[in-house]
Structure 1
Amino acid sequence: MMSFDYKTSVMAVAVAIALTACTFGPNGAPPAMPSPAHYGAGAQPAKTVAAGGVAQQFDIGAVGVPQWWQLYRSDALSALVEEGLRNSPTLGAAQRTLAAAQQELRAQVGASTLPSIDAAAQVDRGRTPLVPGIGPSEVRYNFFAGQVLASYTFDLFGATRSANAASAARVDVQAYQLEAARRALAANIVGTTISVAALDRQIALTERLVAVARTAADEDQHRYTLGSVSRAQALASTQDAASAAASLPALRQQRATAIHALAVLMGRTPDNAPAVPALDSLTLPEHVPVVVPSDLLRSRPDIQAADAAVKAAAADVGAATAQLFPSLSLTASMGRGGFSWPAVLSGAGGLWAIGASLSQPIFHGGALLAHRKASIDAYDAAVLNYKSTVLSAFQNVADSLAALDNDAQTLASTEAAAQAAQAGFDDTASRRRMGSLPSTAEHASEQRFLNARIGAVRAASQRMNDTVALFQAMGELPPGQPQTASSQ
């Protein structure tokens, strides 16, 4: 009866300690960050100047768009993105890695928070020598046993709970990193497609530019032969044609590199590169969201990953602190055993055992305290990394917004230059047909027009690509966020 009272008292004390156990680490909340009125050094304009027929509107306070690439209104572009998200081996590997981490977490939580129960069976054949000359010289025997073993360690001070929380937060980090990889893949596919389409247009214009320059060079060479122009002018025309032709291989190389990269992003081999829509078939999104800074902290997966890393580091501090306190474990077994099957099955064959162990760290060479200090330093580093990630995100958004404003101004100027060059070319060509101007004037005017058009194409593609960067920078608010381990 005294033994029963003693065991009951031990259990009662253990339960009381477990219920009153406190948290030995930081709460894991991210540090407070400033919420500026606007991202950049100056106030955010409501819209850009009109360029390419579009004045982009900045929708302040809007939420991120999940499938923002559809705003370019190109079924071909959307198909490229969807194929890439579906077939990219890099993204697929990240998904399977996350799935494996989630299963490992389930295994860790189940093994550490629930009792373990195992079945064991034993069959032995043994020989024991006896004293020589007295009876038989040896005894041979069989032994049979079967038991069910159970054990459980009480999480008195939260060591297991903190360790599991740290593991869960690290799985969350992987989940947010996967979401960041998914968004980056979509942005890379859209941006590369725009670059290839712009290069196609530049190559076509440059080929015409080379053809015009060669025609002008041939005509000047003929005039030099006739003595109507100087040798210097003929050589200058030849130099201009050669310089224009020299720019073509570089453009074609850029195009080949970009299309090969696009194929790999989509999970294809470079020789199976996809067809790319024409630049003129892509519509620049007129409305772009500008998430307020306070919402950006929840919408960007890189910030969410840094937040989860802070929670993991805080839980590590709690686990390291709990290791300094006692640990209580219970073990029990029940089964049957004997030297023969009849003995095993009889009432005398019953086996059972129950025990408890309490351990308290006393001296470990300073290892436990050093481990706790290391955990605290790692937590401080995670907090600083979170602050750095947030500041970088603010800068990313500010740069993207400034780029769109400046891109619109650049495009407006290059378009004005191209329109003036085209008007000049049309006027020169008309006068050439009437015989009032030589062909050299027409060729020179067309070359100026083609160069102006190439500049406008570059400006338009840069504006489209910077719009891609802004959509990616905005992130995506719930419920579009990934399902994390802590929410499962």
Structure 2
Amino acid sequence: MMRFSLTTLAFASVLSACSFGPDGKPPALPPVSHYGVTAQPSHTVSAEGVSQTFDASAKPVPDWWKLYRSDALNALVDEGLRNSPNLAAADKSLAAAREQLRAQIGSSMLPSIDLGGQVDRERAIGVPNFGPPTVLYNLFVGQIRAQYTFDLFGAARLADRALAAQVDSQSWQFDAARRALAANIVTGAIGAAALRAQIDTTERLVVLADEDARETQRRYELGSASRSDALNARSSAAGLAASLPGLKAQWLSTRHALAVMLGRTPDQAPPDLDLAALTVPANVPVVVPSDLLASRPDIQAADALLKAAAAQVGVATAQMFPSLSLSAQMGKAGFSWPTALSGAGAIWGIGASLSQPLFHGGALLAQKRAAQASYEAAVSQYKQTVLTAFRNVADSLAALEQDNEALSFADTASRTSMSVFSDSTARARLGAIAPSSVRASERQYRNARLDAIRYESARLTDTALLFQAMGSPNGGAANVAAAADPAK
């Protein structure tokens, strides 16, 4: 028996040194020189006096929203990160997952010790011709039981490692949710401010259109304009006014969504920011593609799930090998309290059990194949996550470059039309032109200003999305995978 045990332990130590599954390392991806179809430029064109610079090989900025230099925006982000119910629920779920990991490690790596007590009053049938037909007796038992299962082939250790990797993935997902919430608050606040500015400009355009319609109607009544002119002017004013309700509905919906992200009810939505008070960050970090794998929390979450799937393959393999358990118990028992507490009442037991699966209807092999297929699916999912991240960065870079170019033209048009409007106003004071010409120049300026507001908002928003796409400078989440490995 001793020789068999030593042989079993030696065989287990040899097998435990071998890998029962994949190593869980992420697959190698083709080298990437730059994110998009073409290499990103070092800087954008100048728009509204700012040329944004793409800092190649720079580290991501942790609290990037502070670069907008708005105390009101910083306060909104801080409030949202403190009070968001979704973020609080994710935090508690992560805490629960960590406690479940601690519980599984404790139960699988250490022996279990239980204290038990039993008191019974029983009636048993006696043996014929030997004493009374029935026997009444009491039974008092108190004992300590201990049991330990040796992890000969690493099944428990690999199961702990798989759960730890899942918790690690959940931790990365929490970090991604936190960063996404900050980005959504920033873009929501920018969107609400831009919509408010568009509404104000559109309302002024409606006023100008109504004045044109009234003047054309008077000219029609005096015979200096046709009926078609009057109807067209009225139709244009009504069509422009019809665009306002949609803008206002979008503005209110954006403010309601922003309030909920802050943990408020929609009726407590924060006031709009001043779009002109926001400073667009001039320097934007662009992490090199190889470093993006470590800075993006979604990629790290996929990597953790890959490690969990690899460990599950090892678990399924280890379950096909023998299992050795030891148990021991000691205590006191007797048919009365004095007997149970005396030396005659001492009881004890010790035992060992060795189990080797022989036939389970192919279930163990099927479980191993299922774990291998799940691992291969995790590999593909990791690749897709990386490709999606690269596309996210490429789209953000391209959008920001085009935003600056479009804003440059829109700003030039807005400034030029503003100069024309100022000149027209001055000439109208001197009586050189009619008021309708002043309204026409102001209308041209307001329309140009609408385009500038849209592109200014797009540049601010896409800058935030690019910061978000760069990930966290130091990963942002604590790696708990080592907790499942007793060697660490």
TM-score (norm 1): 0.96
Give the match for residue 322 of structure 1: 318
1:336–1:351 Cα contact (<8 Å) kept: yes
Query: Which amino acid in 2 is paired with 1:45?
Result: P
Q: SS of the residue aligned with 1:90?
A: helix
Structure 2 counterpart of 1:95, from 59, 70, 91: 91
Structure 2 partner of 1:16: 10
- The 5-angstrom pairing of residues 383-422 of structure 1 reads 383-422=379-418
Can you list the C-alpha shifts for 1:390-428, whole angstroms capped at 9, x where unaligned?
011001101101111110000001111111211222222
Residue in structure 1 matched with residue 444 of structure 2 by the alignment: 448
Contact kept in structure 1, 2:140 and 2:333, CA below 8 Å: yes
1:207-222 equivalences under 5 Å are 207-222=203-218
Residue 352 of structure 1 and its aligned partner are, at CA, apart by: 1.0
Q: Does 2:461 match 1:465? A: yes
Whole-Å Cα distance in 2 between the matches of residues 131 and 360 of structure 1? Answer: 41
Per the TM alignment, residue 141 of structure 1 is displaced from its structure 2 partner at its CA by 1.8
CA offset digits 1:423-453 (Å, max 9, x no partner) = 2222222222222222221111111110000
Stretch deviating more after TM superposition (35-44 or 89-98): 35-44
Structure 2 equivalent of residue 3 of structure 1: none
Q: Any conservation in 2 of the 1:295–1:477 contact (CA below 8 Å)?
A: no
The alignment partner of 2:139 has SS state of strand
Q: 1:39 Cα shift?
A: 0.8
Task: Kindly provide the CA deviation profile for residues 284-338 of structure 1, in whole angstroms up to 9, marking residues without a partner as x.
Answer: 0000000011110000010000000100000000000011111111111111212
Q: Deviations over 1:259-302 (max 9, x none)?
A: 00000011100001112221011100000000011110000010
1:40 matched to 2:36? The reply is yes
Q: 1:482 aligns with which of 459, 477, 481?
A: 477
Supply the distance in 1 between the matched residues of 2:256 and 2:210 (Cα, whole angstroms). 31
Cα 1:138–1:457 change in 2 (3 A) is same
Q: Deviations over 1:49-74 (max 9, x none)?
A: 00011100000001111100000000
Q: Alpha-carbon deviation of 1:146? A: 1.1
Letter in 2 for 1:219: E
Structure 1 residue 476 displacement after superposition:
0.8
Identical residues among aligned pairs (%): 57
Structure 1 segments unaligned to the other structure (5+ residues): 1-5
Deviation of the 1:131 alpha carbon: 5.3
The aligned runs of 1:187-206 (5 Å cut-off) are 187-206=183-202
AA matched with 2:296 = R
Q: Which amino acid aligns with 1:128?
A: A
Structure 2 counterpart of 1:336, from 332, 342, 350 = 332
- 1:28-427 residue pairs with structure 2 within 5 A? 28-130=24-126, 135-427=131-423
| 2:26 counterpart of 1:26 | no
Change (3 A) 1:224 1:134: closer
Q: What SS does the corresponding residue of 2:270 show, helix, strand or coil?
A: coil
Contact 1:176 1:301 in 2 (8 A): yes
Change beyond 3 A, Cα 1:249–1:128: closer
1:126–1:428 CA distance, 2 compared to 1 (3 A): same
The question of whether the paired residues in 2 share the 8 Å contact of 1:76 and 1:276 is answered with no
Shift of 1:121: 1.1
Deviation at 1:132, TM superposition (A): 6.2
Secondary structure of the structure 2 residue equivalent to 1:329? strand
Aligned partner letter, 2:297: P
CA distance in 1, matches of 2:470, 2:220: 61
Alpha-carbon distance in structure 2 between the residues aligned to 1:170 and 1:242? 58
Q: Is the 8 A contact 2:155 2:319 kept in 1?
A: yes
Contact 1:95 1:178 in 2 (8 A): yes
Q: Deviations over 1:12-67 (max 9, x none)?
A: 44543443313200011111123312111112100000001110000000111110
8 Å contact 1:17–1:156 — kept in the other structure? no
Q: Which amino acid aligns with 1:301?
A: P
Once the two structures are overlaid, the 10-residue window that deviates more, 230-239 or 40-49, is 230-239
Which stretch shows the higher mean deviation, 350-359 or 298-307? 350-359
Q: Partner amino acid for 1:208?
A: R
Structure 1 residues 82, 10: closer, same or farther in 2, change over 3 A? farther
**Secondary structure of the equivalent of 1:49?**
coil
Partner SS state of residue 289, structure 1? strand
Find the aligned partners of 2:34 and 2:135 in 1 and give their Cα distance.
91
CA contact (8 A) 1:64 1:291 kept: yes
Verify the 8 A CA contact 2:196 2:272 in the aligned structure 1.
no
The 3 A distance-change label for structure 1 pair 118 and 10 is: farther
Paired amino acid for 1:110: G
- Equivalent-residue separation in structure 1 for 2:231 and 2:413 (angstroms): 28
Tell me the equivalent position of 2:486: none
In structure 2, C-alpha distance between the alignment counterparts of 1:102 and 1:174, rounded to whole Å:
10
Work out whether residues 18 and 155 of structure 1, in 8 Å CA contact, stay in contact via their aligned partners in 2.
Answer: no
Contact 1:418 1:453 in 2 (8 A): yes
AA in 1 matched with 2:453? V
Shift in Å, 1:341: 2.6
Aligned equivalents of 1:130 and 1:94: distance in 2? 63
- Cα distance change, pair 368–137 in 1 and its aligned pair in 2 (3 A): closer
Give the root-mean-square deviation of aligned CA atoms: 1.5
Letter in 1 for 2:364: L
Q: How far did 1:487 drift?
A: 5.0
Whole-Å separation in 1 of the counterparts to 2:432 and 2:229? 21
Counterpart of 2:58 in structure 1: which amino acid? A
Partner amino acid for 1:481?
G
Q: 1:227: how far off?
A: 1.3
Query: Helix, strand or coil for the counterpart of 2:121?
Result: strand
Contact 2:57 2:287 in 1 (8 A): yes
Give me the whole-angstrom Cα distance separating, in 1, the residues matched to 2:126 and 2:410. 108
With the length of structure 2 as denominator, give the TM-score of the two structures. Answer: 0.96
1:218 is displaced (CA, Å) by 0.9
Tell me by how many angstroms 1:79 deviates.
Answer: 0.3
SS in 2 for 1:138: strand
- The farther-off stretch of 218-227 and 51-60 is 218-227
The letter of the residue matching 2:118 is Q
